[in-house]
Amino acid sequence: MSSPPPPTETPAPDAPTWPTQPTYGNLGEVRAHLLPSKACRPPRKSGPPSADPQPLPPPLPKKTLSRTQSLPSHRAASRSPAPESQPRRPFVGSHSVDERQADDGQARPACPLAETPFGSLDTSLGLSWHDLSCPEATRAVLEARQLEGLRTVHSRLEARLLGGHPGPCHPGHDFRLLDSSPYVESGDALYYRMVRVGDESWHLLAAKVSKSGAEEPRPWGLELQASLPPHFNLQGLCGLVPEGALPAVPWTGPVVLAAEVPERTLTQWLAEVGTRRRPAELAWAAALLLLQLSAALEQLEARGAALAELRPENLLLAAPRGCAAAGPPRLLLADFGRVRPRPPGAPGAHAPQLGRLLRTLLGLAAPSATPLAHGLETLAARLARSRPSAAQTRGALQALLWGPGPELHRQGALLGPWLQVRRALLVLHLAERASGGELPGLEDWLCCEYLAEATEASLSHALALLWD
């Protein structure tokens, strides 16, 4: 007599219904607590393997790179108890695991969950139910959050572009010389690449060797350079190369260590790109370089200092950390040997030199080939006549690069609404690019800096300098 068929179990109403071949995300280490545990699977009956109504899923592919924590594609959650040897971990969302964090076997989110309040309560929005019916209150909250977000993006980009500062040298450091000949030659110095090895880290530095026959640097400027905090456009120092640290070096005497390794000078850059770039691209690149130079000179003017002579062969260019090689370079002011106390009553001490340098940069492009080139020519004339400070020059360059344009100034349009719209568009622009995996670069950071610190008054002053 044939035995009766085994009874079929009716699933609970809230139990997940799985297809014949369940589809899983790329799990790896969290597979155990996502699959139903053995205690909830129906017991196997004696018989052929085809009688099993729940075949085991196929083995998961192995993945050795970045991993993600995710649920099965149909988002069904199993209520079966986890094994005693592996406590249940709550699902907190899909977060990429950084390669450096994967070494310790623990998957951690790339950023703290507290920084993404979209899944939290409405109180995190900063609005009450009464405020939701008031458009003015809602707009004020959105504008404040927008500005706060821009400042956060700016600070994070700055940390990535600057990187960790190497700090001063210590007796326990070892040094290795990478170049037997100069890596970069500026007007007054030769730069050799060196590696400084510590207990837990190493840094690529540049040995700055003064040229024989060069003008004697002024001690006042060198002392100022050593006392300045790290700045994106100022050459930082890490002390002197210890005597006897290297068996044979192609220099004599004490040599300072620079925190940034230059790749070329501004003079070399002009010779390389002057014949390869279109006039529009050249005007944009020149504006970005002059913007960085103005930021560096602004730091000097704030400390009562001025650069006696601005030489393109002593302005260094380096690749920003974490940016594409085709992007705009980072400009470094390194000629502190020519820095002296600023004469009293001269707020625009650098304006004539900036105007001459700007005309040199524009000399490679066709005159007035683009609106930006026309605006730069206007600024060069204003620098010679009005002698604005470096901070005012930087504001004018920002307006030429990212607006507002002369039309708004001629029409007397309100600058506050323009600033709010421009901030919103920048946030959307960065979000769209991030969704495609594109990292923000130096130009994005400079634009964030401009819109995060701009006010209606600063915009008005910049437009007046350019177009009045």
pLDDT tens digits for 143-202? 888 899 899 999 999 888 887 778 778 777 888 999 889 999 999 999 999 999 887 778
Task: Tell me what pLDDT residue 417 has.
Answer: 94
**pLDDT for residue 379 is more than 60:** yes
Token reading at 467: 């177009």
Average pLDDT of span 273-294 = 86
Higher confidence at residue 130 or residue 11?
Answer: 130
Evaluate whether 232 touches 330 at the Cβ level (below 8 Å).
Answer: yes
Which helix (H) or strand (E) element contains residue 176? strand 174-177
Task: Tell me what pLDDT residue 430 has.
Answer: 93
Q: Which residues pair with 176 in a beta bridge?
A: 195
**pLDDT for residue 333 is more than 60:** yes
For residue 356, CA distances in Å to 20, 184, 310 come to 75, 25, 10
pTM: 0.72
Which helix (H) or strand (E) element contains residue 206? strand 202-210
Which domains occur in the chain, in start order? Answer: 136-165+403-468 (no CATH), 174-258 (3.30.200)
As a whole number of angstroms, the distance between CA 79 and CA 414 comes to: 59
Task: Tell me what pLDDT residue 274 has.
Answer: 65
Average pLDDT of span 304-317 = 94
Task: Please give the sequence-ordered ranges of beta strands (E in DSSP) within 254-365, or none if there are none.
Answer: 256-258, 264-265, 305-307, 315-318, 330-333, 339-341
364 confidence band (pLDDT: 50, 70, 90): low
**pLDDT for residue 343 is more than 90:** no
* Helix orientation angle between 351-362 and 279-302, rounded to the nearest 10 degrees: 160
Higher confidence at residue 276 or residue 73?
Answer: 276
With a pLDDT cut of 90, the percent of the chain lying above it is 44
Q: What is the mean pLDDT of the chain?
A: 78
83-126 confidence digits (pLDDT tens): 444 443 333 333 333 333 334 433 333 343 345 455 554 555 56
Task: Tell me what pLDDT residue 5 has.
Answer: 52
Of the listed ranges 67-76, 165-174, 307-316, 336-345, the one predicted with least confidence: 67-76
* Helix orientation angle between 390-402 and 371-386, rounded to the nearest 10 degrees: 160
Task: Tell me what pLDDT residue 68 has.
Answer: 40
Of the listed ranges 57-61, 250-254, 286-290, the one predicted with least confidence: 57-61
